[in-house]
Amino acid sequence: MAHASHILVNSKAEAIQIKVLINKAQDFEKFAIKKSTCPSGKRGGDLGWFNEGQMVREFDNAVWSLELNKCSDPVKTEFGHHLIWVHERKDS
């Protein structure tokens, strides 16, 4: 299982602009509230806990390979461009 947050935007350029401003989890949460087009943005981008395979493939691959507590590079999916922050992972 993984606990992650994300910021969803329409362009890779916008995702890159946001990423350079993020240094810690509180920054990530603030930008998710301000900029994310996903309803989870209202919760600071928090997606809660989910199992491997529950998200679209590109997002899922990133979540399981990212370093914890770091902002990802932009990840493109059918929904747009995501910045992902993985808080925790644990074996189920």
Residues ≥6 apart with Cβ < 8 Å to 53: 60
- The model carries a pTM of 0.95
Return the pLDDT at 28. Answer: 97
Written as tens digits, the pLDDT of the chain (92 aa) is 999 999 999 999 999 999 999 989 899 999 999 999 999 999 999 999 999 999 999 999 999 999 999 999 999 999 999 999 999 999 86
**CA dist., res. 26 & res. 57, Å (int):** 27
Residue 31 DSSP SS3 = helix
